[in-house]
Copies of this chain bind each other. A is one copy, B any other.
Amino acid sequence: MRYSQSTELAIDSLLYMAARPEASDFSVEQVAAAQEVSASYLAKVFQQLVKAGVLRSHRGSKGGYALGRPLSLITLRDIAVVFEGSSPLYECDGYARTCSLGPKCLVKATFDEAERKMHEVLAKVSLQDVVAQAGQEAAWTAAHGCAPLPPPVAVTQADSVGQGGATS
């Protein structure tokens, strides 16, 4: 059991956009390049986020994606449920087969409670909390000489290089 890559990619992408409050429309291409994933795939992820209301899309030329709500109203839980679904993690399959215990069963009740507690934690942290903490972190790491995030809003031109043999 593991969170899908789509969930992690969505969070990182939203965080990328959240860290650049000045820009209003991000193209899939731009974000995909920053996250080092294919635009094809990220496009699908964004579509799901639009359907969920987390992103707003703007079609046509000069179009792109923007956050659909204030940062403080987008929690980690909101993003997770888009890709992981909201049906219970523990399905209680045996109930349909051999077991005649139902929702009253302590097994099912415990797993549901565990899942609820998990969601409770995720719902308490919004993207705003994350960027705020990242900002403090940035100040700390800057004092030690490492770059905490790809430089904000500084990416404009100067990307005519880069496509050569990357690895090895």
Chain A residues proximal to chain B, CB less than 8 Å: 1-5, 7-9, 11-12, 15, 34-36, 76, 84-85, 87, 89-94, 97-101, 104-107, 110-111, 113-115, 117-122, 124-125, 129-130, 133-134, 137, 146-150
Given A118-B118, A133-B106, A8-B100 contact (CB < 8 Å): no
Inter-chain CA distance A7–B158, complex, in Å, is 52
Q: Cβ of B3 and Cβ of A99 under 8 Å apart?
A: no
Interface of A is mostly: helix
Q: Cβ of A1 and Cβ of B89 under 8 Å apart?
A: yes
How many monomers of this chain does the complex have? Answer: 2
Q: Cβ of B125 and Cβ of A93 under 8 Å apart?
A: no
Can you pick out 19 interface pairs between chain A and chain B where the beta carbons lie within 8 Å of each other? A1-B4, A2-B87, A3-B90, A9-B94, A36-B98, A76-B107, A76-B111, A100-B146, A101-B134, A101-B137, A104-B137, A105-B133, A105-B134, A106-B129, A106-B130, A107-B125, A107-B130, A114-B117, A117-B118
